[in-house]
């Protein structure tokens, strides 16, 4: 290897082998970026790797506003305050085509569940009538096969039992019976496995947690109730091998946050408890990357309601960066991963009593964060995961692009480009790599996942 390349690879190896010395949580763009105070901020990241946040906006009479990070600053999506009236329980999801959808409890429409999507520069209601015929609560929104939107919610027409509907043929149609659940739902999470089977997890106040899936035209129980009796559901994820995971608070163990997965037909705990304090279900969020790594974010009561994020690795829950990295009294915490698996958290930020929206992401030495407005901050990379190639754009003038494996070994000759470049990957084995971009004394590293 050329001495210059060897020294570069060695530097990369040293950088990767001691991530704790670089690991930190950084704001995405400006912290507290919303115009005024917010409630219920929710975070989602599409395939373009740009985070979006929707929230009840105090600057617009608690109506819904959505904002997206452009790579250099936060911009309003469509119009601020686009809902008809104030909102509660909003949820945000982005389909495979990159279109944001929101579902929420509509205070201008008898608290019915309303779903809207961004069409061009305007938000439009999905369907002539919403999913619920009466009031509803705690909607969870996800996309099934063919990017069909589904929403699960607590249905006031059926004593707050669970109803699931999908938007197909121009209307919202029930999936199974409306209000089918045997208990009412205080919290709901909806997800799909790789074959398009919907799963719903929910709990009532006294009957524990239930996880169900829709097969053969009906909802059926997944696993036993006994192993979920003391669980208060917080989130649901399904791994690429179709194993469902739930994050929950354990009522029988001082409300500690825990994770369970299906194993040999029943629910088995993943490691020890994630948290050591009694946490709030509304402040717990879980995400899973393409390799099956599990991340859990929660507000830590032992640290004054500051945010902590942990990853399950090497048989234990490991803290990412500092525990309690936000200001005290952090609220409405949500967690999302970008295409390379970088964790982001969105929350209502109590710093300086602003209570505005803030998004932060974890810098672990394999994904770069540059000051807002720098030449490196606008770089995007897709597809990621890649098969035979990936493309980078937004490159600064004369950028040098070098590819390393995670041991710091250079695996391709450097290329130079301005604005846009294609990086061939067909000759490389599946796995994670580091794409390093250098220009005019600045550098940024992005994680690339090759999967076929």
Do residues 254 and 381 both lie within one domain? no
Give the end of a domain, one of 334, 363, 392: 363
Do residues 324 and 440 both lie within one domain? no
What pLDDT, in 10s, does the model give residues 411-426?
888 899 988 999 999 9
CATH of the domain at 427: 2.60.40.3080
Q: Looking at the whole model, is its pTM more than 0.85? A: no
Do residues 260 and 167 both lie within one domain? yes
CATH of the domain at 256: 2.120.10.10
Do residues 210 and 100 both lie within one domain? yes
Tell me the HSE value of 449 on the side-chain side, using a 13 A CA sphere.
13
What pLDDT, in 10s, does the model give residues 230-241?
999 999 999 999
Q: Is the per-residue pLDDT at 17 higher than 80?
A: no
Do residues 297 and 328 both lie within one domain? yes
Do residues 359 and 404 both lie within one domain? no
How many Å apart are CA 110 and CA 163, to the nearest integer? 17
User: Of all residues in the chain, what percent carry a pLDDT higher than 90?
Assistant: 69
Do residues 24 and 120 both lie within one domain? yes
Q: What pLDDT is recorded for position 31?
A: 93
Mind spelling out the 3-state secondary structure of the chain? Answer: CCHHHHHHHHHHHHHHHCHHHCCEEEECCCCCCCCCCEEEEEEEECCCCCEEEEEEEHHHCCEEEEEEECCCCEEECCCCCCCCCCEEEEEEEECCCCCEEEEEEECCCCCEEEEEEEECCEEEECCCCCCCCCEEEEEEEEECHHHCEEEEEEEHHHCCEEEEEEEECCEEEECCCCCCCCCECCEEEEEECCCCCEEEEEECCCCCEEEEEEECCEEEECCCCHHHCCEEEEEEEECCCCCEEEEEEEHHHCCEEEEEEEECCEEEECCCCCCCCCCCHHHEEEEECCCCCEEEEEEEHHHCCEEEEEEEECCEEEECCCCCCCCCCCEEEEEEECCCCCEEEEEEECHHHCCEEEEEEEECCCCCCCCCCCCCCCCEEECCCECCEEEEEEEEEEEEEEEEECCCCEEEEEEEEEEEEEEECCCCCCEEEEEEEEECCEEEEEEEEECC
Which residues form the domain of 391? 3-13+371-450
What count of other Cβ atoms lies within 10 Å of the Cβ of residue 53? 28
Do residues 143 and 221 both lie within one domain? yes
What pLDDT, in 10s, does the model give residues 126-153?
999 999 999 999 999 999 999 999 999 9
Do residues 204 and 353 both lie within one domain? yes
Do residues 425 and 315 both lie within one domain? no
Do residues 195 and 104 both lie within one domain? yes
Domain count, the chain: 2
Reading the block at residue 252, the tokens are 């029988």
What pLDDT, in 10s, does the model give residues 250-260?
998 988 999 99
Tell me the HSE value of 386 on the side-chain side, using a 13 A CA sphere.
25
Do residues 221 and 323 both lie within one domain? yes
Q: What pLDDT is recorded for position 281?
A: 67
Give the end of a domain, one of 321, 343, 363: 363
Give the end of a domain, one of 342, 363, 384: 363
27 vs 4 pLDDT, higher one: 27
């Amino acid at each position: 290897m050329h001495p210059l390349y060897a020294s570069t690879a060695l530097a990369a190896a040293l950088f990767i082998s001691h991530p704790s010395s670089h690991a930190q949580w950084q704001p995405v763009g400006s912290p507290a970026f919303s115009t005024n105070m917010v409630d219920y901020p929710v975070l989602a990241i599409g395939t373009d790797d740009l985070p979006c946040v929707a929230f009840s906006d105090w600057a617009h009479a608690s109506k819904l506003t959505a904002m997206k990070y452009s790579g250099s600053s936060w911009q309003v999506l469509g119009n601020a305050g686009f809902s008809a009236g104030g909102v509660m329980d909003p949820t945000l999801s982005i389909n495979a085509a990159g279109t944001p959808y929101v579902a929420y409890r509509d205070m201008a429409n008898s608290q019915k569940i309303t779903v809207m999507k961004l069409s061009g520069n305007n938000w439009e209601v999905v369907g002539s009538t919403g999913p619920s015929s009466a009031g509803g609560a705690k909607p969870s929104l996800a996309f099934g096969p063919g990017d069909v939107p589904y929403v699960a919610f607590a249905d006031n027409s059926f004593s707050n039992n669970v109803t699931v509907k999908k938007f197909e043929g121009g209307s919202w149609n029930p999936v199974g019976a409306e209000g089918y659940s045997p208990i009412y739902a205080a919290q709901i999470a909806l997800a799909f496995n790789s074959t398009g089977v919907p799963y719903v997890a929910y709990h009532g106040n006294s009957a524990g947690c239930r996880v169900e899936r829709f097969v053969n035209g009906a909802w059926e129980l997944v696993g036993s109730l006994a192993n979920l009796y003391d669980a208060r559901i917080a989130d649901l994820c399904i791994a690429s091998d179709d194993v469902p995971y739930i994050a929950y608070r354990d009522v029988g163990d001082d409300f500690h946050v825990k994770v369970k997965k299906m194993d040999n037909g029943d629910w088995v705990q993943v490691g020890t408890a994630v948290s050591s304090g009694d946490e709030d279900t509304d402040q717990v969020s879980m995400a899973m990357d393409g390799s099956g790594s599990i991340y859990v974010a929660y507000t830590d009561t032992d640290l004054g309601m500051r945010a902590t994020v942990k990853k399950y690795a090497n048989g234990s829950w490991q803290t990412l960066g500092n525990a309690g990295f936000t200001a005290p009294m952090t609220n409405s915490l949500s967690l999302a991963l970008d295409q390379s698996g970088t964790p982001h958290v969105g929350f209502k930020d109590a710093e300086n009593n602003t209570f505005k929206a803030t998004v932060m992401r974890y810098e672990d030495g394999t994904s770069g964060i540059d000051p807002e407005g720098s030449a490196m901050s606008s770089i995007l990379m897709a597809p990621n995961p890649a098969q035979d190639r990936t493309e980078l754009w937004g490159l600064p003038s004369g950028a040098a692009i070098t590819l390393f494996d995670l041991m710091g070994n250079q695996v391709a000759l450097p290329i130079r480009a301005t604005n846009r470049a294609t990086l061939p990957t067909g000759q490389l084995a599946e796995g994670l790599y580091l794409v390093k971009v250098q220009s005019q004394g600045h550098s940024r590293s992005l994680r690339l996942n090759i999967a076929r």
